[in-house]
Structure 1
Amino acid sequence: MLTMEIYSTKNELQDHLHTLRKAHKKIALVPTMGALHEGHLSLIREAKNSADIVVCSIFVNPTQFNDPQDLEKYPRPIENDIALLKGETCDILFLPTVDEMYPSSDEIWEIDLGELDNLWEGAKRPGHFQGVTQIVYKLFNLVQPDIACFGQKDFQQVMVIQHMIDLKQLPISLKIGPTVRSEKGLALSSRNSRLSEKGKEDALVLYRTLEQTRNNFGQKSLEQLQQEATASITATSTLTLEYFAICETRTLQQAMDKDNTKEYVALVAAWIEGVRLIDNMLLNM
């Protein structure tokens, strides 16, 4: 039976990957922050289907957290994560420390993300996408994958990563896995573990509202859909809505009028029981 290799240093990982590349192995990378769930595991399976070797990284990246308390509370069940990855026959786990990834405390990183850095998640979490691209670029340089797998649940993040790949002209194919949901429809998230059962039940209004918006997309104006969605979510007293927006998928600019030649996505972010949840749904794809 094949065993999963676990590396905590860049040098060890690079040495092993060098050997695999010399054997012409196709490599896929699945970057994660741990607290793995079925959404992550579906990406591991997608990677297994697309490459010879799957590298999963687990690293809770401090530079993408603009709230120190959120960083501190982020779940880190590493033993369970390792067991789950072994169950999916992942080939390599990269498990570095903060010092390993950020040896210099005064490292400077800035990338031009255009409006993607100022809209929605970019506006609500200043510096977040600079931190995301900083660590993903480090991992891309380290692993040099042929394929990188990310989930659709973090739709804006996927757009940001694709923008960086294009900007840096990286020879990496981005694969986007569909959002994996609970039986009732809640988008799986590592943060869901912090919700009570009632909180998970109340949070289902996000999925129901997205689904309703998609179902009514052909019959109602964008303004009507926006108003109905906002009313539906704010009617749930335990939720605090941050935003609900219908956007053109390519730019994520909020759409005012429909254009049949364009594709649209609904984005939502809300707080419940001190936990911030995001979700999205493609509307006409």
Structure 2
Amino acid sequence: MSKDVPVVATVEELRAYVRARRSLGERIGLVPTMGALHAGHLSLVEAARREAERVVVTIFVNPKQFGPSEDFARYPRTLAADLGSLAGVAADLAFAPSVEEIYPPGFATTVTQQGPATAGLDDRFRPSHFDGVATVVTKLLNQAQADVAVFGEKDYQQLLVIRRLARDLDIGTKIVGAPTLREADGLAMSSRNVYLSQDERARAPQLHVALSEAARRILAGDDIGKVMDEGRAALAAAGFDVDYFEARHAETLAPIARREEGPMRLLAAARLGATRLIDNMAA
């Protein structure tokens, strides 16, 4: 029988736990989440377990990464169910702070980036998003002082933002990217998938299909610009409102027109109704 996962709500308690485990020579893995956990999140816990003896999972819906017209108020908050899921993968500790614990009265500091945070992808449609991500992740890495932190590749631009901030700010935590977990029909797992209507859910895998087809054609030598234009058009014909469907350099997110320019990542964001889906794929 799986044991209940202890929960702490303050930075002091989190640091006390980390100090105690470190005194025993154990490495600490960190998995930052906003809760509403699904199998994709649990795969991050398992990836962290391969890197460390103890795994801490943070559950915090970060208000600073939501724009004024986004879904902060209705973002699913399912702490009891999340703790049950974490018990099933033997997470060692959950850190579930309040907004006031993370951003106490008078909080006045923001971490702002250039580089991958200003690549003209998600930042073009969510201008303050990566400032909010960079700020909260910097705080969580500092609070936990973990040996390794695991983030999903589904949020690929975010992963590069976090890797860059860790390098630039001399944060000692190793940042690990874990592969995207998918439903049987290819849809990338996401907490926001619950917002899809039955019809939208049936169409949603077309985002993965479009990326897969684009990757296949590019690897076969087709013109990258033409392939991406046609993929964009196919998604629009399937009822998606496309924010972007782009071929970018996998390490810098700079636009890329020829395979010889470096490793490539295809990235997409599109809306079905009120739900915004993102996905990406190596090519």
Counterpart in 2 of 1:211? 212
CA displacement at 1:270 relative to structure 2? 0.6
Query: Take 2:9 and 2:160, find their aligned partners in 1: how far apart are those partners?
Result: 29
CA displacement at 1:159 relative to structure 2? 0.3
Counterpart in 2 of 1:18? 19
CA displacement at 1:113 relative to structure 2? 2.7
Q: Deviations over 1:75-98 (max 9, x none)?
A: 111111110001111000000000
Q: What TM-score does the superposition give when structure 2 sets the normalisation length?
A: 0.95
- Asked if residue 274 in structure 1 is aligned to residue 274 in structure 2, the reply is yes
Counterpart in 1 of 2:101? 100
2:72 counterpart SS class: helix
CA displacement at 1:103 relative to structure 2? 0.4
Cα 1:165–1:5, aligned 2, differ >3 Å: closer, same or farther? same
CA displacement at 1:243 relative to structure 2? 0.8
Q: Deviations over 1:13-54 (max 9, x none)?
A: 111211111112100000000010111000001111210100
CA displacement at 1:231 relative to structure 2? 1.4
Query: Take 1:163 and 1:142, find their aligned partners in 2: how far apart are those partners?
Result: 18
List aligned pairs for 1:190-205, cutoff 5 A: 190-205=191-206
1:72 counterpart SS class: coil
Query: Take 1:130 and 1:220, find their aligned partners in 2: how far apart are those partners?
Result: 37
- Contact residue 215 and residue 282 of structure 2 kept, 8 A: yes
- Contact residue 147 and residue 174 of structure 2 kept, 8 A: yes
Query: Take 1:118 and 1:217, find their aligned partners in 2: how far apart are those partners?
Result: 22
1:269 counterpart SS class: strand
- Contact residue 5 and residue 93 of structure 2 kept, 8 A: yes
CA displacement at 1:69 relative to structure 2? 4.3
CA displacement at 1:226 relative to structure 2? 1.1
1:278 counterpart SS class: strand
1:179 counterpart SS class: coil
CA displacement at 1:224 relative to structure 2? 1.5
List aligned pairs for 1:60-139, cutoff 5 A: 60-114=61-115, 116-139=117-140
CA displacement at 1:246 relative to structure 2? 0.5
Counterpart in 1 of 2:161? 160
1:119 counterpart SS class: coil
* Paired residue total: 281
- Asked if residue 187 in structure 1 is aligned to residue 206 in structure 2, the reply is no
Query: Take 2:150 and 2:139, find their aligned partners in 1: how far apart are those partners?
Result: 16
Q: Deviations over 1:225-284 (max 9, x none)?
A: 1121011101112x211111001111111212331x61101111111120111100011x
Counterpart in 2 of 1:225? 227
Query: Take 1:271 and 1:109, find their aligned partners in 2: how far apart are those partners?
Result: 29
CA displacement at 1:221 relative to structure 2? 0.7
2:110 counterpart SS class: coil
Counterpart in 2 of 1:148? 149
- Contact residue 116 and residue 160 of structure 2 kept, 8 A: no
| Structure 1, gaps ≥5 residues long | none
| Structure 2, gaps ≥5 residues long | none
CA displacement at 1:2 relative to structure 2? 5.0
